[in-house]
Amino acid sequence: MLLLLTALFACALLSPLIFRLAKRNAFYMVAVVPAAGFIWLLTQLPKVLASDPSAGHAAPNAPPSISIDWIAALNIGFNFRLDTLSAVLLLLILGVGTLVLIYCGRYFKNDDPQIGSFAAKLVAFAGAMTGLVTADDVMIMFIFWEITSVLSYLLIGFSQSLISARRSALSALVVTTFGGLAMLAGLLMLGAQAGSYQLSEILAVSSQLVAEGGYIDVAVALILLGALSKSALVPFHFWLPGAMAAPTPVSAYLHAAAMVKAGVYLVARLAPGFAETTFWLPLTVGLGLVTMLVGGYRALRQYDLKLILAFGTVSQLGFIIAIFGLGTPDAGFAALALTLAHGLFKATLFLAVGIIDHNTGTRDIRQLSGLSKSMPVLTVTAGIATASMAGLPLMLGFVAKESVYEAALHLDGTLRLWVLPVIVLGSALTMAYSLRFIVGAFGPSKRQKTPTACKRPTLIFLAPLFVLAAATIVLGLFPAPVEHLVHSAAGAYSGPVKVHLAAFSGFNSALALSVVSIAVGVLFFWLRQRSDTGAPLRRLVVSAEELYRGSVNLLDKVAIWVTGRTQRGSLSFYLGVILLVALVVPLGIALLVATPWPTEWVLFDHPAQAVIGAIIMAGALIAIVAPKRFMAVLMASVSGYGMVAIFALQGAPDLALTQLLVETIVLVSFVLALRALPRRLWVGLTKIHWGRAAIAISLAVMVVYIAIGMMAARTEAPISLAYPDLAYHEGYGKNIVNVALVDIRVWDTFGEITVLAAAATGVASLIFVTRSFGAKRLRAHEVQPGSIDHGSEPIGSRGAERELGLHVAREFGRSTNRDWLMAGSTLVAERRSIIFEVVTRLMFHSVLMLSVYALLTGHNTPGGGFAGGLIAGLALTIRYLAGGRVELAESMRVAPGLLIGGGLVLAGISGIIPLLAGDAIFTTYAWEFWLPIFGEHKFVTSTIFDIGVFLVVLGLVQDVLRSLGSEIDVLSEGRSPVDPHDVVASSQTGVGR
Amino acid sequence: MSVNITFLAITGVLLAAGFYLVLERTLTRVLLGIMLLGNGVNLLILTTAGRLGKAPLFESGLDPNVYADPLPQALILTAIVITFAVTAFLLAMIYRSWMLNQADVVADDTEDIKVSLSSAYDEEEDAPLAADTTEFVDEEGRPVREGEE
């Protein structure tokens, strides 16, 4: 069994290759695989028939089975089981599959490039169906079930260029996967309740399950939903006629013999156990009978041969499912016989339509005329199949239908009263559309007097039809093998089977019903022919397809409406929504639960706090209303510098130091970046928006309110009480904050420097965009003196003083004295400031020394890697401001990427080394030593980590200066004093020049 | 634990100003807002941490309660540096946006607006189709009769 599955899927994988070599004749080679499977199945039949379908796995007479563990924890495995029901369907799947593949060998054009993948899908489909009907594990069955849906989608959409094919494929997929999802839920519910996901075990305990009611009722109804959608019952039936966009062999195989039988199979499988659940009868028998009538009626109205068959299939599927749904042994017996009969005749008829379409170029019965003369062999073959469909004597269809009538006659009172008339009526419709089909296809046409031109089909093209038609008539005359098969399958039911299959079982009520239905059917056909004007179809009052399209359209509209209302494309709208949610939810919770309220309040801890506070608040508020951008930036900085004082007063020297340095560098960066933006961009921004203000103020009040509650709610001693001792004894440092950063909470810091690296790279990428930023570094001696930053506005005051300043600067540039700065002479005179250059020269190295000092002593006194890195960064900033971009390049010959990368690596190494020594990651060691001048000293290994931090921070600052400073200089060079990037209006360059 | 009203007031004003600016469309003002928010939140962490105390520099034998709480300080220190990185990144973004659009505002996403204006009608799904009665058509849709070769 497993070999068969593997062979089918392997064949599917290989077929594109085979087809490249052998073209369409490769279909014959591919057909060997299902044919071999069919023969293997025949050899297995005696064993299968001898087994008892309801026997458990261990029982001696259990059907052949295989289990391979897959997900043991979920109790899901590749468990397959071949009982008679599976075998019967498998015979259809493999037998019809083989014949359809052979048929394809003449159906398609030899040079069609798509047939390779087409054959692959068809064979894979046979594999999926094989898996579906033999799987004992419901999850495995479900997987195969969904594979068939996907393959069906691909096969219907075979003609990718046709919109109708794509659309039909999609609606088939949507409908069947919708059912599939419902089914999955049902299977899970059922499996959970049964305690097993094996079909055989679930069915073994079905009577207990059914007795539990409610929950199982729903589970079974959900599973049925899957079956009904797959087998195209009302109201899901519309996808099947749509699926006729597929090539005809696909319709013959998927939509007559195989896939649509998946739903039938599932109903047949569950019927012995779950026919008594609440929703079973209405869903199967009820909808099945409705489908039978709707399908039959609509088939009678079609002009396209394929559509007559498609609606006929819908009708027959409804019929079969209704009979299986009855749940009696008789019904199960009869329905399975009907399934076989249907598979044989419907496949024949579809293939016949394929030949007609292939050889005449149309399937429209209004255009076809006189084919019985030009294609007599096909006419007889199709006639046999049609007779079987109509339920005429001698055919398997008749035999099966007789047994159905028989089974229906054995039903109890009310049910029989409902079922019997409907199936007689449905059979009459079947008779009628069968006539319409055969007369329309092969008979003379009312409107088309000249016979349709066509070529005769070759025998090899017809061969598969002969086999199917022969089976229909032989098994109709001698139904014993079928009887044997379906009788064995009915063994799954608990009661005895009282009906039989016979070519002629005497003059009884079943025969009478057949006669009635045939007679009424002929009448229907006569009425229909008389009223048939050949006019296009009228629209139905309401069709399921229109309902489907309508609901899909409604969904589209709702989606667009919702998207349009929520995804507005406005950042401030999104932020507003986010902030409002952030306001309402926590505030709601805070108000609902009892919030503790502090008892102790102080106005301030130190009077200076009040003064500083006033400055900070003023800075923040003025930043909002400041009429000029630079003023707003400065005001924000004022509040930032205010924080420095707050930190200093609060016993946080490290914070004060860091904030001071950062605030300074941020201010410089701001000025550097924004100098390119013209002043007019700020106009009109200071108008207060009261809506935003309301959101902002409420949020702030909410945060403060919750913070008060938090402070009052604090009961435990803070964990940081242990920090001083931890820092000194484990981290070997006195600066508790620094030890926390490089040792106690080192992972946080490591994460943070990674973020810094990312931000630095981001800055550089945004400014340099596609230009390489690792390009050749500027050297002062290679640059034309007095060329850098040309076009700058003169520094200093205006008027005469400016002239004097310029004069001095030019003199300074010409002087033969060694420059104070390495690249000072590269700047234009307007850009130079002698005093600044001298001061920079004097300060730079001292500041660098300070930064190293802060880094190395940071473990014990305020400072550390962050502060050290920022100080060094400031030193660089000063060099850049005084000497321009060449000076920056000269003063830092290492690329920032190298600094940042090196810093990260160093920090990482400091964490890994202890691992090599067998300690925990980031363990700190200390060595004490004595140096001649410096005296007693202690080296702590976490300093290495801090050096890494230092390098990353320095790299970040360097990247900022290089990007927001140097690169923007280059981009705006020579365009000052006209606004460098502004083409519209000329205004002041900005600041900082 | 006593509550410092001044700190709460500063926090509130910084946050309110920050939220207000963040809600604007001008990127520069958004950035100023983020900086103010950063300061406000840092102060909030400091406020909730406890009263002022000695700088957290270890001295043998001192009661841990005497120090200002070092843990929030470590957190804030990290936050300050991260805010710097974010600021630099946003500054680069502002410059880039200026280079591309000659504007300093976050423009509405035109693709999003297109979505809200789009119609539910889709050619692929909703166009009316003529019924086809044969599979054997050429590229232009004309029927071709195909016999056996």
ipTM of the complex: 0.84
| DSSP-assigned letter for residue A446 | S
Using pLDDT thresholds of 50, 70 and 90, give the confidence band for residue B7. Answer: very high
Tell me the residue ranges of DSSP E strands in A352-464: none
* Res A796: pLDDT: 60
**Distance of residue A309 Cα from the nearest chain B Cα, in angstroms:** 13
Which of B57, B89, B122 is facing A759, going by the closest CB pair? B89
Distances in Å between the alpha carbon of A339 and those of A268, A327, A469, A499? 10, 15, 15, 16
* Res A980: pLDDT: 43
Are A545 and A452 within 8 A, CB to CB? Answer: no
Using pLDDT thresholds of 50, 70 and 90, give the confidence band for residue A284. Answer: very high
- As given in the structure block, the two tokens for residue A759 are 């931000």
Lowest mean pLDDT, pick from A145-159, A387-401, A831-845, A938-952 = A831-845
Domain membership flag for residue B60: no
> Which of B57, B60, B121 is best to mutate for the A interface (most A CBs within 10 A)?
B57
Angle formed at CA A480 by CA A479 and CA A486, multiple of 5 degrees: 90
Are A945 and A935 within 8 A, CB to CB? Answer: no
Lowest mean pLDDT, pick from A58-62, A396-400, A629-633, B34-38 = A58-62
Which of B6, B49, B103 is facing A609, going by the closest CB pair? B6
Beta bridge partners of A928: A938
Q: For residue A831, give the nearest of A972, A983, A956, A961 by alpha carbon.
A: A972
Distances in Å between the alpha carbon of A162 and those of A168, A242, A244, A364? 10, 13, 13, 19
DSSP, residue by residue, A26-85: HHHHHHHHHHHHHHHHHHHHHHHHHS-TT--TTSTTPPPEEEEEEEGGGTEEEEEE--HH
- Do the Cβ atoms of B19 and A755 come within 8 Å? no
Which of B36, B46, B52 is facing A636, going by the closest CB pair? B36
**Distance of residue A258 Cα from the nearest chain B Cα, in angstroms:** 22
List all residues 6 or more positions away from A182 whose beta carbon is below 8 Å from its beta carbon: A222, A223, A225, A226, A229
Q: pLDDT averaged over chain B?
A: 83
Q: pLDDT averaged over chain A?
A: 88
> Dihedral sign, CA of A93, A99, A102, A106?
negative
What is the C-alpha separation between A761 and A962, in angstroms, rounded? 12
Lowest mean pLDDT, pick from A483-487, A528-532, A802-806, B64-68 = A802-806
Average pLDDT over every residue of A381-395: 93
DSSP H/E element including A842: helix A834-857
What is the C-alpha separation between A744 and A750, in angstroms, rounded? 12
Query: How many CB contacts within 8 angstroms connect chain A with chain B?
Result: 405
Q: Is the pLDDT of residue A736 over 70?
A: yes
Which of B16, B111, B116 is facing A700, going by the closest CB pair? B16
**Distance of residue B101 Cα from the nearest chain A Cα, in angstroms:** 11
Angle formed at CA A891 by CA A890 and CA A894, multiple of 5 degrees: 85
Q: For residue A667, give the nearest of A623, A702, A708 by alpha carbon.
A: A623
What is the C-alpha separation between A80 and B38, in angstroms, rounded? 63
**Distance of residue B102 Cα from the nearest chain A Cα, in angstroms:** 7
- Do the Cβ atoms of B32 and A658 come within 8 Å? no
Where does residue A507 fall: left (phi above 0), alpha (psi -120 to 50 degrees), or beta otherwise? beta
Q: Is the pLDDT of residue A159 over 60?
A: yes
Contacts of B97 in chain A (CB under 8 A): none
* Res A985: pLDDT: 36
What is the C-alpha separation between A657 and A660, in angstroms, rounded? 5
Contacts of A721 in chain B (CB under 8 A): 64-65
- Do the Cβ atoms of A361 and B67 come within 8 Å? no
* Res A892: pLDDT: 87
**Distance of residue B100 Cα from the nearest chain A Cα, in angstroms:** 10
Q: Is the pLDDT of residue B146 over 70?
A: no
Count of the separate structural domains present in chain B: 1
Average pLDDT over every residue of A576-605: 87
Residue type for A922, please?
Answer: F
Which of A613, A616, A711 is facing B1, going by the closest CB pair? A711
Q: How far is CA A291 from its chain centroid?
A: 35
Are A679 and A628 within 8 A, CB to CB? Answer: yes
What is the C-alpha separation between A903 and A910, in angstroms, rounded? 11
* Res A226: pLDDT: 94
Are A846 and A878 within 8 A, CB to CB? Answer: no
Contacts of B149 in chain A (CB under 8 A): 110
- Do the Cβ atoms of B144 and A361 come within 8 Å? yes
- Do the Cβ atoms of A569 and B112 come within 8 Å? yes
- Phi–psi pair at A304, nearest 5 degrees: -80, 125
Residue type for A917, please?
Answer: A
Pick A624 or A974 by higher pLDDT. Answer: A624
Residue in this structure with the two tokens 């509405």, named with its chain if needed: B108
* Res A954: pLDDT: 95
Are A309 and A260 within 8 A, CB to CB? Answer: no
Are A764 and A896 within 8 A, CB to CB? Answer: yes
Share of chain A above pLDDT 90, in %: 49
Domain membership flag for residue B89: yes
Using pLDDT thresholds of 50, 70 and 90, give the confidence band for residue A893. Answer: confident
Domain membership flag for residue B21: yes
Radius of gyration of chain A (CA): 43
> Which of A353, A633, A654 is best to mutate for the B interface (most B CBs within 10 A)?
A654
What is the C-alpha separation between A142 and A398, in angstroms, rounded? 34
Domain membership flag for residue B79: yes
- Phi–psi pair at A492, nearest 5 degrees: -70, -25
Using pLDDT thresholds of 50, 70 and 90, give the confidence band for residue A979. Answer: very low
Are A316 and A261 within 8 A, CB to CB? Answer: no
- Do the Cβ atoms of A696 and B51 come within 8 Å? no
Residue in this structure with the two tokens 């990674």, named with its chain if needed: A754
- Do the Cβ atoms of A737 and B98 come within 8 Å? no
> Dihedral sign, CA of B60, B61, B66, B67?
positive
Nearest chain A residue to B136 by CA: give it: A361
Average pLDDT over every residue of A773-802: 71
* Res A798: pLDDT: 65
**Distance of residue A490 Cα from the nearest chain B Cα, in angstroms:** 41
- As given in the structure block, the two tokens for residue A837 are 């250059």
| DSSP-assigned letter for residue A536 | P
Cis peptide before A235 (omega within 30 of 0): yes
User: Beta-carbon neighbour count of residue A553 at 10 Å?
Assistant: 15
Q: Is the pLDDT of residue A773 over 60?
A: no
Beta bridge partners of A929: A937
Virtual torsion, Cα A751, A757, A758, A760, nearest 10 deg: 150
Average pLDDT over every residue of A19-40: 91
Q: How far is CA A519 from its chain centroid?
A: 55
- Do the Cβ atoms of B52 and A676 come within 8 Å? no
Pick B123 or A81 by higher pLDDT. Answer: A81
* Res A76: pLDDT: 86
- Do the Cβ atoms of B91 and A763 come within 8 Å? yes
Nearest chain A residue to B104 by CA: give it: A681
Q: Is the pLDDT of residue A990 over 50?
A: no
| DSSP-assigned letter for residue B3 | E
Virtual torsion, Cα A378, A379, A382, A388, nearest 10 deg: -150
* Domain residue limits at B125: 1-55+65-149
**Distance of residue A735 Cα from the nearest chain B Cα, in angstroms:** 5
